[in-house]
Every structure is written in structure tokens, then in C-alpha cells.
């Protein structure tokens, strides 16, 4: 037994010596393989970290598997309207009615930023919310100070995160300290939470007592869908069985007959939500991106593996003699397969270590590109399993075919010199697959870029450039008109208006409308903006019929302006001058605006009505001429300080809000571009290595051709064509797949660009140019060698 063990050690040692001797002798080949596998594996690891982060949302909650939120589907003439918000009384009422529900809690973020002040510190904060005291019975947000059992000792209690405690109080203990919201509303700090994880779908830095909302003027009733309700269900309950019972209760109590309420599992909130109104905006399903990047990760690894296989089989003649000698001395094919597989896994593991070093180096930049906060947790079981699978998959696939091929050599043929460097047809197929993947990814990147450019430059029906906006707060509620008159005295200020909502996000909608000639069965959901007389001209919105609100017509204070989409849904003809009623407010339609986008291009333009109210609230908008922006901003700041001294000026350009509508698409474009570049780089790295080897093998032929009068360009053209024709063929496979995939992606937009041929042609030309450069470098180098030297080459 000891003798067999010693023989095994000697055999393994000899294999290792032979492997490193081969690597040392063929440094360029080995570097190509290691670099290709390292970059491919690093890309796969980054993609895997991104996917793990997407799948990890809210999983840190102890009750994750049994948590749900109340949502609703509203039914209208033009289709369903999905809303994640529900009436305030719903959650506690359903908790009492249905024994399957153990506990409920409500959550409501403020609709915009608030000014937080403590002593001489003042900051606008965007993450202020309110929740029931039962909130921490459902969700696991750890306390640093305070108690989850009694988070809100009184109605003025406020919880803050560690980040906020450090920002406002430094090293002081914040418990018992009083801060002010928008100068007037006082809260007492009663607890400090750990910073909310980035993979929580609920984000807040301040959490107040839900009971305080009514005192702040919030209406909590059955006809106000303004609150987000969550439920903890008993173990093993089928949540789908509760929806019909919800509807039965609502109908029996005459609360609604056209809306269905149901439960959405917490596990589906981040990836599968598709709501017109959600916690912070409208949402689109993102699970499709998980599938996309799974595929991209596998494709990039395959490109790196193909490089390894191509170079291994092409250079097989260099190891043929070793195989022949081992076989003559009694080595069996399984032993040789184990040897070459062992070499493959050694190379893969070494490449993996380099890949993890690359990941650690580029992770900060990757997080910046993607907006993530991912990190490598080597102790995480999911990550460890994924990395084991990655190494095994890469090792088996990359080493499998070369091992079978190398071990199949016949010693007699080797001694006679009757061996070939692997089947050329197989290598050509692999090159075709590589470049098909690269071309496909370039096309997808081009179409994503084209679509984003299209929706960012689409005619929105309003002029968003050079428009500033800020929340109405402080003295501006009462002194808005003074502020407006003072500002209009300065050059550069073209117009000023206000509106209850941002033009990019509107949650104020109702079906409580009536109009002259309405069919009793018709039900239309209409959004509403409360505006002043200058809103339409400030945004350059065109009138399709009738007129704008006018100070010359005092009766306009009770009238309405609708958009074309509303008129179409209502089925009205000659609507101007006809009666229209909103929430019991009777008036007439005085004008129709042409349709303009007040949501993202994912949605078709929806019905909208605008009307006047004497009170000012919402947002102030200022159109400037754009000639002297800094000077104009200083004038705005000066007037703002005079009229509203306590509140720092925070005017921003509205076009940024439109850009924020497409954040996920922007990130998608960035990732596509990054991985498309890597796919091209890896493909060309393999093509360069393969071309270098083939050119090296034909050094003598090149010398003969030069002697016969061929110049380097002719030689390069001759040697390049064999590879380039397979790259051209790659387009036949890549184009239809890319077209099908991107055509499906574009279906998610109500307004979309055409898939243009030039993107396909540009992708093909780009890859061809890069491939020619990859091939030509080595071929031209050898072609420049003196023929006298080339002809001596063996």
C-alpha cells in the first residue's frame, strides 16, 4: 500500500512539474488563458453579487415568509389601475375581521422633503415617514436605543437612524432631544435604529407615530387611498383565499364594487411590483433583469471558456510528444484525462483567485455604476455555493473537451508526425459562437441607448427646460403672490406658477366625476392638478380647444380644464362650455389642453383635469430664460430669504425629475455597455491568441510568400479572411436573437423608438474592425521578419 501511495505522489509531482514547465515555456499562451478566465470569472462574480442583492430584498426580516401588504386593483373603462396604497382604516379593520391575520401595521412616507432643524443645524430630509406602533412586530429593524415593544411612548415620539443621530447630535445622546419639522412641528427622540439596509423596500431615516398624522391634517378614511398597510399572517395560510372575503366585506358595506383588494407577498414586492402608485413612485417589474443578467453572466463565462478550448486544441501538437511518451510507458487514457483535467482545474482556481482580486478592486466603481452597495461576504453560504459552482462549471467545461482530445492521440501517429492541432471546423464554430454573443450584446446596448435617448428627447407636450421647482413651505403658503411679484421684477425670470403636484408623479386621482351626457355605466379614473392661472403658459402647454384660466374671468375659479385623454375616455363631443363635476364641485369645461406627459414613457397619457383653488400648496415653478443662470439663481435666493428667511432655498431643475423616471433603464444601459465591452475584449483576446499561434505555425509559409513578392498587407489579408468570414457569419445568428429580445423589452414602453438597421450594421462593423486589429498585429509582426530567418523556422 505504501509503495502504491509513493508511486501516486511521484506521478502527481511529475504531472505538476510537466504542467508548470509547459506554462513556463509558453508564457504568452498561458497568460492569455489566465487573463481570459480571470476577467470572465470576475464578470460572473460581479453579476452574481448584483443578482444576490436583488434577491435579498427584505429577507432580513424574521417574519419574511409570512409578511404581506394590502394592495388593490381598480377597474375602469380604459383598463385596470393598480395601487399599492389602501384606505387608512383597512389594515386594522381586516385584522379584527379575519383570524388568519395576526397583526397589521400602516406606513406612510411624507410626500416630499421636510426641513429638520435642531439648534443651529438645518437640513432638508427626504426620508421621513410615519408608522403604527405595531410596525416593529412585523418588521425587524434593530434598535440601538429605545424599545421595539414601546417605540412611540407618546404621540410626539420620533425614531431616528444612527446616521441621523450622528449628523445632528454628534457624540451626544439623542434620546429626549427635541427637533422641529418645517419649523413648527416638534418631535421628541425616543429611539435610535440601526441604519436601514439598502435592500429594504421601505427606506426611512425618521419614523414618527402614525397617530400624529390626523393632527397634522391627514385624512384617514375609507375613501382615501393614501396609506400602505402590511399584514402578518399565520403560518401555512394561503393568502389568496382572503381576497374574495375582502371583496365581500367591501361590497356588503357599500365601500366599493369596482375595486378588488388583495395581498401581495413581501417576497414579491421588490421584483414583481407593477403598480401605477407605489410607496415612492410607480413601479415596473424588475425580475426580468435577474434573468437577463443570469444569461449575460453565463455567456461571458462561455466566451472565456471557448478561448481556453480553442487555444488548448490548437496547441495540442505541442503536447503530443508528451502524450505519446506517457502512453508508451503504460499510461492509460483515464490517467491522462485526469492529468489534463487537473491542469485545467489548477488553471481555473488560479484564475479564480485573480478574479476575486479584480472584483475587490473594481467593486467600488461597480457600486457607483449600478447604485448598489454590494460587498463580498466570503462567509455567506449562498455566495460560497455560487463560487463553488462557478469554479466546477468553468473547470469541467473548459477542461473537458481538451482532455478528451489530447488523451486520444495514438502513439504510432505521434511518432510518425501524423497529428493535427484539433479539428479546425470545431474551432470555427466556437469562434462563431463567441462573436455571436458579442455582437448580440452590442446590438442590445445600442437599442437600449437609442430608446433612452428617444424618451428623453420625446415631445412631452410641455417645455421642461429651464424650469426650476421647489416645495411650498413656510411663509410661501401665505406670501406666494408677494414672492411672485417681487421675482418678476428681475430680468431672466419669465414666469412663475404653482401646482399641487410634480408633473412626473401624481397620486391624486378619483372616479368621483360627472359630466353632461354621461352614461351611468361609464367609469373613468381622472387625475387632478390644482394650479394657478400661469401654469399652462409656464410649461408651454398647448390648448386644443377653449382657453386657459384668466384673471379677467372671476368665474373661472369654479371651472375646469381637461386634457384630450380625458375627453376621449368620457366620450364627449364639443366639450367646451359643458357641465363637469368633481367631488361635488360643479363647474363647466372652459378649455381642453393637448395631451402632455406627466408620467414616464412606460405609461400612456391618462385623463387629467386642472382647476383653481384660493389656497396655495404643492410646488412653485419658475421659468428662467437660461441666459445668466447663476445671476438669476442669486436673485431668487435673495427674494426667498426676504420672504421665507427660515427655509433655505432649494430650487432644482424639473428636467432632473424626468431623468429620474428612467433610473433603472440608465443602470441597465451602463451594465449592458460594460459587459458588452468585456464580451468583445474576451472574444478578441481569444482571436488574438489563436491568430498568433496559427501565424507562428505558418512562419515558414510567410517567409516563402515574402520571397515571392507578397507584401505584409497581402499576407495579412490572406490570413485574416479565414477568421473574418466566421465573424461575418456570427451576425446571422446574433441579429435575429437580438431583435427578438429587444422587441420584447420595448413592449414595456408606451412610447418607443423603432429598431433601426443601422444599429445592427454598426455592431457588425465595430466587431470586424476590432477583430482585424486583433489579427493583424501578430500577422504583420511575423510578416516583417526577414525571409532568411523565417525559412529556417521549425
Three-state SS for 262? Answer: strand
Mean pLDDT in residue range 456-485: 88
pLDDT one-digit tens code per residue, 173-221: 999 999 999 988 999 999 999 999 999 999 999 999 999 998 888 888 8
Q: What global pTM score does this model have?
A: 0.81
Q: What angle do CA 479, 480, 486 make, to 5 degrees?
A: 90
Q: CB-hemisphere CA count at 13 Å for 5?
A: 2
Task: Output the pLDDT for position 448.
Answer: 83
320: pLDDT confidence band, cut at 50, 70 and 90? low
**pLDDT of 5 strictly over 60:** no
720: pLDDT confidence band, cut at 50, 70 and 90? low
Task: Output the pLDDT for position 682.
Answer: 78
Task: Please choose, from the candidates 590, 494, 611, the residue with its C-alpha nearest in 3D space to the C-alpha of residue 544.
Answer: 590
Task: Output the pLDDT for position 793.
Answer: 47
Average pLDDT of the chain is 84
Task: Output the pLDDT for position 318.
Answer: 57
pLDDT one-digit tens code per residue, 700-709: 566 666 666 6
27: pLDDT confidence band, cut at 50, 70 and 90? low
DSSP string, 548-566: ---TT-GGGGG-EEEEHHH
**pLDDT of 325 strictly over 70:** no
DSSP string, 34-53: HHHHHHHHHHHHHHHHHHHH
Q: CB-hemisphere CA count at 13 Å for 80?
A: 9
**pLDDT of 783 strictly over 80:** no
Task: Give the residue, 182 or 325, on which the prediction is more confident.
Answer: 182
Task: Output the pLDDT for position 515.
Answer: 93
Count how many residues are written for the chain. Answer: 794
Position of cell 505522489?
9
DSSP string, 631-694: HHHHHHHHHHHHHSTTSPP--EETHHHHHHTTHHHHHHHHHHHHHHHHHHHHHHHHHHHHHHHH
Task: Output the pLDDT for position 156.
Answer: 95
Task: Output the pLDDT for position 207.
Answer: 97
**pLDDT of 422 strictly over 70:** no
Show Cβ contacts of residue 457 under 8 Å, excluding neighbours closer than 6 positions. Answer: none
**pLDDT of 455 strictly over 90:** no
Q: In Å, what is the CA distance from 11 to each residue of 2, 4, 14?
A: 14, 10, 5
The CA dihedral of 187, 191, 197, 200, to the nearest 10 degrees, is -60
Task: Give the residue, 3 or 572, on which the prediction is more confident.
Answer: 572
Position of cell 492509460?
332
Show Cβ contacts of residue 71 under 8 Å, excluding neighbours closer than 6 positions. Answer: 82, 83, 84, 86, 261, 262, 263, 264, 275
Distance CA 686, CA 33 (A): 8
**pLDDT of 4 strictly over 60:** no
Q: What is the largest CA-CA distance in the chain?
A: 109
Is beta strand 157-161 parallel, antiparallel or unpaired with respect to 185-193?
parallel
**pLDDT of 550 strictly over 70:** yes
Distance CA 639, CA 625 (A): 18
pLDDT one-digit tens code per residue, 491-536: 899 999 999 988 887 777 888 899 998 888 888 889 999 999 999 9
Q: Are 529 and 559 in contact (CB under 8 A)?
A: no
**pLDDT of 766 strictly over 90:** no
The phi, psi pair for 544, rounded to 5°, reads -90, -30
Show Cβ contacts of residue 635 under 8 Å, excluding neighbours closer than 6 positions. Answer: 487, 490, 492, 493
Task: Give the residue, 19 or 536, on which the prediction is more confident.
Answer: 536
Q: In Å, what is the CA distance from 491 to each residue of 9, 488, 535, 629, 632?
A: 88, 8, 20, 11, 8
Task: Output the pLDDT for position 505.
Answer: 75
Task: Output the pLDDT for position 264.
Answer: 97
Task: Output the pLDDT for position 791.
Answer: 47
**pLDDT of 297 strictly over 80:** yes
435: pLDDT confidence band, cut at 50, 70 and 90? confident
Amino acid at each position: 500500500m505504501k509503495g502504491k501511495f509513493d508511486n501516486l505522489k511521484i506521478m502527481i509531482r511529475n504531472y505538476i512539474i510537466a504542467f508548470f514547465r509547459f506554462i513556463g515555456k509558453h508564457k504568452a499562451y498561458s497568460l492569455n488563458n489566465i487573463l481570459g478566465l480571470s476577467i470572465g470569472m470576475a464578470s460572473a462574480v460581479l453579476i452574481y453579487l448584483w443578482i444576490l442583492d436583488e434577491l435579498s430584498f427584505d429577507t432580513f426580516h424574521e417574519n419574511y415568509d409570512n409578511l404581506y401588504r394590502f394592495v388593490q386593483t381598480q377597474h375602469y373603462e380604459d383598463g385596470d389601475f393598480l395601487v399599492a396604497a389602501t384606505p387608512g382604516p383597512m389594515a386594522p379593520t381586516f385584522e379584527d375581521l379575519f383570524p388568519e391575520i395576526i397583526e397589521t401595521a400602516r406606513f406612510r412616507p411624507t410626500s416630499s422633503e421636510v426641513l429638520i432643524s435642531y439648534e443651529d443645524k438645518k437640513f432638508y430630509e427626504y426620508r421621513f415617514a410615519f408608522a403604527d406602533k405595531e410596525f416593529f412586530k412585523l418588521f425587524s429593524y434593530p434598535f440601538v436605543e429605545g424599545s421595539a415593544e414601546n417605540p412611540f411612548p407618546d404621540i410626539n415620539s420620533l425614531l431616528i437612524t444612527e446616521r441621523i443621530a450622528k449628523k445632528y447630535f454628534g457624540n451626544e445622546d439623542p434620546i429626549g432631544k427635541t427637533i422641529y419639522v418645517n419649523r413648527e412641528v416638534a418631535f421628541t427622540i425616543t429611539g435610535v435604529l440601526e441604519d436601514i439596509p439598502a435592500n429594504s423596500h421601505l427606506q426611512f431615516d425618521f419614523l414618527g407615530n402614525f397617530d400624529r398624522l390626523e393632527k397634522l391634517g391627514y385624512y384617514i378614511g375609507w375613501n382615501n387611498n393614501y396609506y400602505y398597510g402590511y399584514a402578518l399572517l399565520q403560518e401555512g395560510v394561503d393568502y389568496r383565499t382572503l381576497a374574495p372575503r375582502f371583496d365581500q366585506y367591501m361590497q356588503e358595506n357599500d365601500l366599493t364594487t369596482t375595486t378588488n383588494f388583495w395581498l401581495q407577498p413581501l417576497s414579491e414586492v421588490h421584483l414583481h411590483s407593477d403598480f401605477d402608485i407605489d410607496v415612492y413612485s410607480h413601479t415596473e417589474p424588475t425580475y426580468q433583469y435577474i434573468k437577463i443578467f443570469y444569461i449575460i453572466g453565463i455567456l461571458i463565462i462561455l466566451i472565456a471558456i471557448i478561448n481556453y478550448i480553442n487555444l488548448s486544441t490548437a496547441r495540442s501538437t505541442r503536447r503530443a510528444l508528451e502524450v505519446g511518451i506517457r502512453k508508451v510507458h503504460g499510461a492509460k487514457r483515464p490517467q491522462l484525462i485526469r492529468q489534463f483535467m487537473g491542469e485545467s482545474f489548477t488553471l481555473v482556481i488560479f484564475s479564480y483567485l485573480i478574479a476575486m482580486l479584480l472584483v475587490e478592486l473594481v467593486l467600488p466603481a461597480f457600486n457607483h455604476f449600478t447604485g448598489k452597495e454590494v460587498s463580498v461576504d466570503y462567509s455567506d453560504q449562498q455566495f460560497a455555493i455560487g463560487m463553488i459552482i462557478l469554479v466546477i462549471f468553468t473547470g469541467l467545461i473548459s477542461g473537458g473537451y481538451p482532455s478528451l482530445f489530447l488523451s486520444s492521440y495514438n502513439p504510432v501517429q505521434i511518432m510518425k508526425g501524423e497529428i493535427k492541432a484539433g479539428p479546425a471546423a470545431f474551432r470555427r464554430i466556437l469562434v462563431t459562437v463567441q462573436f455571436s454573443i458579442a455582437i448580440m450584446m452590442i446590438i442590445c446596448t445600442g437599442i437600449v441607448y437609442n430608446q433612452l435617448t428617444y424618451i428623453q428627447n420625446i415631445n412631452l407636450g410641455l417645455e421642461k427646460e429651464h424650469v426650476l421647482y421647489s416645495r411650498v413651505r413656510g411663509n410661501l403658503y401665505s406670501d406666494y403672490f408677494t414672492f411672485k411679484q417681487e421675482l418678476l421684477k428681475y430680468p431672466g425670470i419669465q414666469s412663475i406658477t404653482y401646482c399641487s403636484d410634480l408633473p412626473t408623479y401624481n397620486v391624486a386621482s378619483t372616479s368621483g366625476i360627472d359630466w353632461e351626457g354621461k352614461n351611468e355605466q361609464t367609469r373613468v379614473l381622472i387625475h387632478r392638478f390644482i394650479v394657478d392661472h400661469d401654469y399652462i403658459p409656464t410649461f408651454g402647454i398647448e390648448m386644443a380647444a377653449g382657453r386657459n384660466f384668466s384673471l379677467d374671468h372671476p368665474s373661472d375659479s369654479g371651472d375646469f380644464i381637461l386634457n384630450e385623454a380625458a375627453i376621449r375616455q368620457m366620450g364627449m363631443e364639443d366639450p367646451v362650455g359643458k357641465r363637469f363635476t368633481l367631488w361635488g364641485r360643479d363647474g363647466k369645461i372652459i378649455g381642453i389642453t393637448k395631451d402632455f406627459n406627466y408620467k414616464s414613457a412606460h405609461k400612456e397619457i391618462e385623463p387629467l383635469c386642472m382647476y383653481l383653488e384660493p389656497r396655495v400648496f404643492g410646488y412653485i415653478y419658475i421659468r428662467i430664460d437660461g441666459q445668466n443662470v447663476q445671476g438669476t439663481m442669486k436673485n431668487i435666493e435673495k427674494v426667498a430669504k426676504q420672504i421665507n428667511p427660515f427655509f433655505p432655498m432649494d430650487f432644482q431643475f424639473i428636467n432632473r425629475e424626468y431623468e429620474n423616471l428612467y433610473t433603472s433603464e440608465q443602470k441597465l444601459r451602463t451594465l449592458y455597455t460594460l459587459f458588452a465591452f468585456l464580451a468583445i475584449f474576451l472574444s478578441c483576446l481569444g482571436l488574438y491568441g489563436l491568430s498568433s499561434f496559427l501565424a507562428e505555425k505558418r512562419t515558414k509559409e510567410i517567409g516563402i510568400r515574402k520571397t515571392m513578392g507578397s507584401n505584409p498587407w497581402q499576407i495579412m489579408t490572406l490570413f485574416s479572411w479565414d477568421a473574418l468570414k466566421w465573424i461575418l457569419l456570427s451576425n446571422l445568428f446574433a441579429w435575429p436573437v437580438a431583435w427578438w429580445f429587444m422587441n420584447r423589452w420595448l413592449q414595456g414602453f408606451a412610447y418607443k423608438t423603432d429598431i433601426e438597421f443601422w444599429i445592427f450594421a454598426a455592431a457588425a462593423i465595430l466587431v470586424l474592425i476590432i477583430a482585424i486589429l486583433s489579427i493583424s498585429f501578430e500577422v504583420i509582426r511575423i510578416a516583417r521578419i526577414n525571409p532568411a530567418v523565417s525559412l529556417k523556422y521549425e
